[in-house]
Structure 1
């Protein structure tokens, strides 16, 4: 991968290349930039993201991209027919995504399990004007927190206790805990605490809810409510954390952000701050009566309890971005920090925003 300046400083030219290994012949190679290429598939316009085979057999191509873009991506070798022949159906698109590989020329990696449609690792493209993401590299000599795993009925959680976290420590409840642990979120927490930027905290990382599929656990009150009822006394008794809602943050991405908003609205005596990333305020629900619905949360928050919010959304999230802007407007009477970034529905972007949100909502 090669990044070069564009005549317009608002853009960069990025050249991707891939050496085809021995084996069955490849008909195309697609650069799948999370959000950008996915939307191009929705629009039936994948060709700009296809590499060309060069005379030496290497596939390569150049894209003109915003200079402040951060995105995860994969290189997808395509067999059994070219993608240049016109739009493809969902089944073919699923097969293309599944074939995606991390870029061997790029050492920046997003771990396996963090990319929609593909369970393997992805690469991370960070262009020069992308917002910095300090604190995510482990440093020798930095004191490390303690992480323990616990089962609560059919749910599972991890608990991180920062060095120096004592009685009345701030509490963060963070959904999608296993993914955040794979991203080494504890390194960021350790560094911020060591640098005096963040008070020693206890973070409750929720892995699974009621043994259910992710979207069921995050949207169905009869699954998440019993867990929350158990979690709070569990962490209060075991780690003596604060009971002050102003020092308790509930944090989530996508549907986890929708649930975080709901919990702060319905349990203000315990959750006084929301860190929401690419929240699914577009979510229409399913046929299950009582399931969370994004529109209902937007309407309810205007007259709900006053809560502190830190919300972010990507400029390449389409309907989700529209929903977040509507929620931003509905929160005019609340203490709100709102930011849009050049990127998509992507842990590569959420890493930095999680850190920023914690520093905003838990100022030392």
Structure 2
């Protein structure tokens, strides 16, 4: 499309395009008139675009080369959302969808990747790959390998001398492949098998492993800071096309799906699988906070057997609500656990973080957020469900930032919240300027120095793979520290270590484990020898 054509299309859609013909920055804004706005971007195949959809309710899609398939880039949550994609065509086109009168603003930077890279090399540990390499060197092609692998499903699982080897595979990338998730949190690079179309990475894993992952082929390489380069993996990451267990099964496309692995000895996840589960009854409202000066969506849920008069009913507050509902399917899990009487009836409040910026500013350790929870949201929840407050039946639950956020909010407001479920808590976090001279985390030291007048019960879980090669952002070790401090202070704390990583496919089971440990009548769910 010519520049004139772009301007005509932009004018029809009520948007503005930058005046410079070859600018690398793009700022598009407008108001929807009830139909989708189509935006043609300047650029070429392979260009990398990154930026944000500013706060708003518009959804953003990128068209595929066939002009009928589309990939969702931003869901229109109301907060600021990141956008990453690689152009699959010259002059790629975006589609903006929303209700009539919806305002939108998209800010993008376009980068031209600086070419290929030298593929890394890895030790060839997989017997099947060793055999394949021998065949390739003798003149065979890879077709037989891929037919066999596709029939089995990926990743490749092999048992060698009592060890379990898990090999992630990708076919046909030009320059590189990266692994998002899996047994590592380092976005590992896959290696190329000779000069074939086989890319691979092998790990030795416990036979109780459960995890989810995505594969990102041809991640753009460009000059930029390490964080920007690391985030570029989101431009191409998608479910593994040869994996037999995509999750969630109902996701609109592989870009919104993860591939999963549950080895034969992976522990049962309470309430799962959900085949045949009923659609949960959810009620949402926009909730304004005077304390925080913002507004977010709050979603309420009652298990089918819930009664506000039940003296054993649990009031659950769960952070990262949209993900817990749509991805982890926590409401359906709660219905199953309460129906089987594994836990008492539950009333749950799912809290939207608004966006990445608000989540980072509010969850880890913000006294104002704790005040919002205790002074504003707790009373609203009690009113909505018709319950009387009982701190011993009230629980804060979250993962990652939500894990440390649950702990800090309970420590800030122990009169309101008497229970915490923390999964993969980001206990490496500390306020700016805070320092520790004893090797313990900020929260562990805060707990040591605290003189709580109310008992708080904890369930703490973390993944065996949640370690760091640099020593920073350690989650497994700092979670174990916190559990040890709690036990040393004579507080109730349950510990679960999962053979998994920083992974919501693991967390969905951890929430059930936590509720059973705290409210399941003394049922033991994990090895608590730590």
TM-score w.r.t. the length of structure 2 is 0.57
Answering whether residue 381 of structure 2 is matched by residue 241 of structure 1, we say no
Alignment partners' CA distance in 2, 1:134 and 1:178: 21
User: In structure 2, what is the equivalent of residue 196 of structure 1?
Assistant: 341
**Is the alpha carbon distance of 1:251 and 1:61 closer, same or farther for their aligned partners in structure 2, counting shifts above 3 Å?**
closer
Pick closer, same or farther for the CA change 1:16–1:209 going to 2, 3 Å. closer
Structure 1 residues 33 and 295: alpha-carbon distance in aligned structure 2, compared to 1, 3 A threshold:
closer
Q: Tell me the CA shift for residue 194 of structure 1.
A: 1.8
Aligned residue runs from structure 1 range 311-330, under 5 A: 311-318=460-467, 319-330=474-485
> Partners in 1 of 2:464 and 2:504 — Cα distance?
15
- Please say if 1:159 is aligned against 2:304: no
| Residue in structure 2 matched with residue 148 of structure 1 by the alignment | 283
CA distance in 1, matches of 2:243, 2:409: 40
Tell me by how many angstroms 1:209 deviates: 6.1
Instruction: State whether residues 156 and 168 of structure 2, in contact with CA within 8 Å, keep that contact through their aligned partners in structure 1.
Output: no
Partner of 1:345: 502
- Alignment partner, residue 291 of structure 1: none
- Corresponding residue number in structure 2 for 1:182: 326
Shift of 1:166: 0.8
Partner in structure 2 of residue 73 of structure 1: 213
Question: Contact between 1:209 and 1:224, CA under 8 Å: does it hold in 2?
Answer: no
CA change 1:100–1:51 in 2 (3 A) is farther
| Residue 179 (structure 2) pairs with residue 31 (structure 1) | yes
**Counterpart-to-counterpart distance in 2, 1:159 and 1:138:** 20
Superposition pairs for residues 1-364 of structure 1, below 5 Å? 1-9=154-162, 11-20=163-172, 26-34=174-182, 36=184, 38-39=185-186, 46=188, 49-52=190-193, 55=196, 57=197, 59-60=199-200, 62-78=202-218, 89-111=226-248, 120-140=256-276, 145-153=280-288, 154-168=295-309, 169-183=313-327, 184-208=329-353, 213-218=358-363, 219-286=365-432, 295-302=441-448, 303-304=451-452, 305-318=454-467, 319-332=474-487, 333-363=490-520
Q: Secondary structure at the match of 1:317?
A: coil
Question: Is the deviation greater in 170-179 or in 324-333?
Answer: 324-333
**Of the two structures, which has the highest relative contact order with CA contacts closer than 8 Å and spacing of 6 or more?**
1
Alpha-carbon deviations, 1:337-362, whole Å to 9, x = none?
01222222111111111111011112
1:115-138 deviation digits (Å, cap 9, x = unpaired): xxx974221122222222242333
Q: Which runs of 5+ in 1 are unaligned?
A: 82-87, 289-293
Q: Is the 8 A contact 2:367 2:409 kept in 1?
A: no
1:331 match: secondary structure: helix
Stretches of structure 2 lacking an aligned partner (at least 5 in a row):
1-153, 289-294, 435-439, 468-473, 522-530
**What CA RMSD, in Å, does the superposition of the two structures yield over aligned residues?**
3.1
Cα deviation, 1:205-226, whole Å, max 9, x if unaligned, reads 1113699621112132234523
Tell me how far apart the structure 2 counterparts of residues 101 and 119 of structure 1 sit (CA, whole Å): 5
Q: Is the 8 A contact 2:300 2:347 kept in 1?
A: yes
Q: Which has the larger radius of gyration?
A: 2
CA distance in 1, matches of 2:201, 2:339: 43
Question: Structure 1 residues 111, 51: closer, same or farther in 2, change over 3 A?
Answer: farther
Taking structure 1 as the reference length, the TM-score comes to 0.81
After TM superposition, the structure 1 stretch with the greater mean CA deviation from structure 2, 176-185 or 57-66, is: 57-66
Partner Cα distance (1:231, 1:210) in 2: 18
Could you report, residue by residue, the CA deviation over 1:276-318 in whole angstroms, capped at 9, with x for unpaired residues?
A: 1111221022479xxxxx9443223233242111001112222
